[in-house]
């Protein structure tokens, strides 16, 4: 087992010892208690929840109170079609209308940043789910079935792993610009999900390898449970620990990848805005309107910051011996 390159390469924190699983269901309650004790993680959790809530309901609330949607351009008053600094009104005096200022077309930045949050979080979560589904199934099957099938599947993973993925994704996205913004999102999910499932597969496979000779598996086999059931009802649930941990690692990574793809112009297209595309728009005018970059940038940094702290905390909580990276 120790000669299997997969097991060696997995960072130490994901190698779960046998003893963990004997503990059974109290694992989760213990984990939750540990999480709450970690102040940084709690901070992260609060911020993430706050941002997620504001991303979900924020645009609607803003629309109801001030009438600003992320793409509302005040065409009736030409004085308003310009970039105002934060908290500034048309006459240059202090005003509450635009706490984050406006962009060049007079669109409210606050609404746009929140919509950007919607998109970024949405893309991050869905892509991670996609990669989860693919990776977990693939890894579990490979680990359980073993033998030549396992070998073949892992060779494929090896080859795919060594592909310059993001490069190919860029070529793909640049060649096939979708006509609709929705279409582009779907392309993004596929591309981003395809990038991260490989490590997930390896992790799950590693887990399954160490689990499949356990007694509960043999018992299931003896009582005639079918192979798919064994894989998906018995083995997979026991891998959830590292899977969750890796998922929380993946979400910020995917969000970052989506942001940089949108920044380069290959990701989310207008009229939808993601933090990456807002940042790339903001950079255009940084010499004279720096707030256009600073607000989306700081918001994104804050979100990723909190997600990372939360992920750290989850890792600590699920296994204190898995020291953080």
Could you list the residues that contact other proteins (CB under 8 A)? 2-3, 5, 8-9, 11-12, 39-40, 43, 78, 82-83, 85, 104, 155, 158-159, 162-168, 170-172, 174-176, 252, 256-257, 259-260, 263-264, 270, 276, 279-280, 282-291, 293-294, 297-298, 300-305, 308-309, 323-325
Minimum CB distance to other proteins smaller for 1 or for 222: 1
Q: Which is nearer to other proteins, 218 or 301 (CB)?
A: 301
Q: Smaller CB distance to other proteins: residue 52 or 137?
A: 52
Sign of the Cα torsion 19, 20, 22, 23 reads: positive
Find the shortest distance in angstroms from Cβ 3 to other proteins: 6
Q: Which residues pair with 252 in a beta bridge?
A: none
Minimum distance from residue 167 beta carbon to other proteins (Å): 6
Nearer to other proteins, 38 or 115 (CB): 38
Of 255, 257, 242, 269, whose CA–CA distance to 300 is shortest?
Answer: 255
Contact 132, 201 (CB under 8 A): no
Report the nearest approach of other proteins to the CB of residue 323 (Å). Answer: 5
Provide the angle, in degrees to the nearest 10, between the axes of the packed helices 39-66 and 291-318: 140
Residue 237 C-beta: closest distance to other proteins, Å: 28
User: How far is the CA of 78 from the CAs of 68, 74, 75, in angstroms?
Assistant: 16, 7, 6
> How many whole angstroms separate alpha carbon 42 and alpha carbon 91?
43
Q: Please report how close the Cβ of residue 66 comes to other proteins at its closest, in angstroms.
A: 23
Q: Nearer to other proteins by C-beta: 143 or 311? A: 311
Say if CB 93 and CB 106 are below 8 A apart. Answer: no
Asked if residue 280 lies in contact with residue 268, where contact means CB atoms within 8 angstroms, the answer is no
């Amino acid at each position: 087992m120790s000669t299997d390159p997969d097991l060696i390469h997995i960072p130490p924190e994901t190698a779960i010892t046998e003893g963990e699983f004997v503990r059974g269901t109290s694992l989760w309650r213990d984990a939750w208690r540990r999480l709450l004790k970690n102040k940084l993680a709690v901070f992260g959790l609060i911020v993430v929840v706050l941002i997620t809530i504001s991303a979900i309901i924020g645009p609607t609330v803003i629309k109801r109170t001030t009438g600003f949607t992320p793409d509302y351009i005040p065409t009736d008053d030409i004085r308003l079609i310009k970039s105002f600094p934060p908290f500034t009104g048309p006459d240059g005096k202090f005003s509450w209308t635009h706490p984050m200022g406006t962009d060049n077309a007079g669109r409210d930045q606050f609404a746009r940043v929140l919509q950007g949050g919607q998109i970024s979080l949405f893309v991050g979560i869905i892509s991670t789910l996609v990669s989860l589904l693919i990776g977990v199934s693939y890894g579990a099957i490979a680990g359980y079935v073993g033998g030549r099938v396992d070998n073949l599947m892992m060779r494929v993973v090896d080859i795919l792993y060594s592909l310059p993925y993001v490069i190919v994704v860029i070529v793909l996205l640049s060649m096939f610009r979708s006509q609709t913004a929705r279409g582009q999102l779907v392309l993004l999910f596929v591309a981003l999900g395809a990038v991260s499932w490989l490590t997930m597969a390896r992790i799950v496979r590693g887990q399954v390898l160490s689990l499949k000779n356990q007694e509960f598996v043999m018992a299931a086999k003896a009582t005639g449970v079918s192979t798919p059931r064994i894989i998906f009802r018995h083995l997979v649930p026991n891998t959830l620990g590292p899977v969750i941990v890796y998922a929380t690692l993946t979400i910020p990574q995917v969000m970052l990848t989506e942001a940089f793809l949108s920044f380069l112009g290959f990701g989310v297209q207008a009229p939808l805005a993601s933090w990456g595309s807002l940042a790339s728009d903001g950079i255009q005018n940084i010499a004279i309107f720096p707030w256009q970059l600073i607000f989306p940038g700081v918001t994104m940094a804050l979100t990723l910051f909190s997600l990372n702290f939360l992920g750290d905390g989850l890792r600590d909580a699920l296994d204190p011996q898995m020291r953080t990276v």
